[in-house]
Structure 1
Amino acid sequence: MSQLEGAMAAMIKVFHKYSGKEGDKYTLSNGELKDLIKNELGNFLGIPKDQGAVDGIMKKLDANKDGQVDFKEYFVLIGALTMLSNAGKGQK
């Protein structure tokens, strides 16, 4: 498996590690998203100290306004963080 294929597999694996603990196994609830952010994205986002921070992230990600984050919406977060990380390295 190439490095990029491994990264893609890891993104999928992380999503499914947290999804489905509270309902639909193909979406992230607010609580699942908080756990994912805290455990997997703490270095990029800082660990949210309050539920309001996660609520704000959830509101921005939840494009279809169903109260959950599906894989497509999750990928928007991962893509945006990747772009920010790249920009921080002096790349455009």
Structure 2
Amino acid sequence: MTKLEDHLEGIINIFHQYSARLRHHDTLIKRELKQLITKELPNTLQNTKDQATVDKIFQELDTDEDGQVTFEEFIVLVSRVLKTAHDNIHKE
């Protein structure tokens, strides 16, 4: 497996680590998303412990408004975080 493929698999595994096994495995509810961003992105996203911030992120990601974030919706967050990290590298 290439380095990029390994990182892609890592993103999938992180998503699955936080999604509850009692529901559909490929969705996150708000509590799970909060745990994921608080533990996995504490240096990248600001105010991750603030419930209003989590609510806003969740609302932006949950485009079908079903109260869950699918993997497809989650990768929007990954894309935004990756773009910000890329922009920050060029600022240094």
Give your verdict on TM over 0.5.
Answer: yes
Q: Size of the alignment, in residue pairs?
A: 91
Pair 48,34 (structure 1): closer, same or farther in 2 beyond 3 Å: same
Aligned-residue CA RMSD in angstroms? 1.6
Q: Check whether the contact 1:21–1:32 (CA below 8 A) recurs between aligned residues.
A: no
Gapped regions of structure 1 (runs ≥ 5): none
Q: Check whether the contact 1:58–1:69 (CA below 8 A) recurs between aligned residues.
A: yes
Pair 30,8 (structure 1): closer, same or farther in 2 beyond 3 Å: same
Residue 45 of structure 1 aligns to a residue in which SS? coil
1:22, CA displacement in angstroms?
6.3
1:71, CA displacement in angstroms?
0.2
2:39 alignment partner in structure 1: 39
Find the aligned partners of 2:46 and 2:84 in 1 and give their Cα distance.
14
2:12 alignment partner in structure 1: 12
Find the aligned partners of 1:15 and 1:9 in 2 and give their Cα distance.
10
TM-score by length of 1: 0.90
Where in structure 2 are the equivalents of 1:71-86 lying within 5 Å? Answer: 71-86=71-86
Runs of 4+ that moved beyond 3 A = none
Where in structure 2 are the equivalents of 1:43-82 lying within 5 Å? Answer: 43-82=43-82
Pair 34,40 (structure 1): closer, same or farther in 2 beyond 3 Å: same
Residue 44 of structure 1 aligns to a residue in which SS? coil
Deviations 1:18-38 (A, max 9, x none): 012563321000000000001
